[in-house]
């Protein structure tokens, strides 16, 4: 049995990772300041994890939580593009300074490996598709820039200090527990909420923009593989599906599930949003043995089951 520390473990992605680790019989510590995470996300593992309400910006406070930890999965972040544009200073403090604190604490504690949750936002809006890790990053927002800085810090700590670290560029993650009321939420959670309330979904832009939507279960699988995969330390890898869907096609897919025909409302594009996104997952397949097991339509159906029970 290994000991895992999950920063941001009460969040959307983090809670799924925590649940899977508990299911596997691992020892799990969760560190979250609950700025976007929710304690109810961890109800299913209550009493089986160590829980710490802490902020990664406070190095002295988080240091003791790393002692005796084998693996750190670092998800805590300000993960909203619009919020990072409105307040780049806070985005910098959480995503860069906070990540540096996590790496320092992990190195001091003798952690075996850190997994850093990066983002496809580092690529910006390059016309080259699918996105390949070797292409030049061109972030369009402070959020994308801070994630790129986090990757570089991971590489530096691996090369200079010998701390094993892997950065995973998550693409457009969706699934149960993604809160449609939050400004940090992905578009699919907002669509689900609109459909279940019989409201007209809103698309920012013309709907022809594309996304590589990846079900959260696939993200969990790739992240846990990265903890122990040989040859992965110091690497940056895409985690998506390798496919892409327009938002208009996504509405049609939801129409098919709900048995209706919807005419979405179109609004101006959001500042900092990219037009097209698609992952080349060849590197993750080779180094992690990663293969997305849950496809788009199946992921939508699994998500719907959860949203039906939560949307009022």
Active site amino acids: 143
DSSP codes of every residue in 30-42:
EEE--SS--GGGG
Burial 268-278 (b: 16+ CB within 10 A, else e): eeeebbbebbb
**Separation CA 229–CA 80 (nearest Å):** 30
Beta bridge partners of 211: 245
Here the tokens at position 40 are 């109810």
Here the tokens at position 231 are 């040859």
Here the tokens at position 149 are 């800085």
* Spatial contact of 29 and 52, defined as CB atoms under 8 Å apart: yes
**Separation CA 172–CA 245 (nearest Å):** 11
Q: Would you state the torsion angle of the CA atoms of residues 178, 182, 187, 190, taken in this order, to the nearest 10 degrees?
A: 90
**Separation CA 11–CA 78 (nearest Å):** 11
Cα angle: 31, vertex 171, 34; to 5 degrees: 25
Q: What is the DSSP letter of 236?
A: E
Q: Would you state the torsion angle of the CA atoms of residues 17, 240, 98, 126, taken in this order, to the nearest 10 degrees?
A: -170
């Amino acid at each position: 049995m290994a000991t895992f520390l999950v920063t941001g473990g009460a969040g959307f992605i983090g809670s799924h990772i925590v649940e899977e680790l508990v299911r596997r019989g691992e020892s799990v510590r969760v560190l979250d300041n609950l700025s976007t995470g929710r304690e109810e996300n961890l109800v299913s593992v209550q009493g089986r994890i160590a829980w710490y309400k802490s902020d990664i910006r406070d190095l002295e406070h988080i240091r003791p939580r790393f002692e005796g930890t084998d693996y750190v999965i670092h998800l805590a972040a300000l993960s909203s593009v619009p919020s990072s544009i409105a307040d780049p200073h806070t985005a910098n403090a959480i995503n860069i300074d906070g990540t540096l604190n996590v790496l320092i604490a992990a190195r001091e504690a003798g952690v075996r490996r850190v997994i850093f949750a990066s983002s496809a936002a580092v690529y910006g809006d390059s016309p080259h598709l699918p996105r390949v890790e070797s292409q030049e990053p061109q972030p369009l927002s402070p959020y994308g820039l801070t994630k790129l800085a986090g990757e570089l810090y991971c590489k530096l700590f691996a090369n200079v200090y010998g701390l094993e670290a892997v950065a995973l560029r998550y693409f457009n993650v969706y699934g149960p527990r993604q809160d449609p009321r939050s400004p940090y939420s992905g578009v699919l959670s907002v669509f689900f909420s609109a459909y279940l309330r019989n409201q007209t979904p809103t698309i920012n832009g013309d709907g022809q923009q594309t996304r590589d939507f990846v079900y959260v279960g696939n993200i969990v699988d790739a992240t846990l593989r990265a903890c122990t995969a040989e040859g992965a330390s110091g690497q940056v890898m895409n985690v998506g599906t390798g496919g892409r869907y327009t938002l208009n096609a996504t509405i049609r897919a939801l129409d098919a599930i709900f048995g209706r025909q919807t005419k979405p409302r179109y609004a101006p594009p959001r500042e900092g949003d990219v037009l097209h996104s698609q992952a080349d997952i060849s590197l993750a397949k080779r180094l992690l043995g990663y293969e997305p097991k849950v496809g788009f339509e199946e992921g939508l159906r699994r998500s719907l089951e959860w949203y039906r029970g939560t949307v009022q």
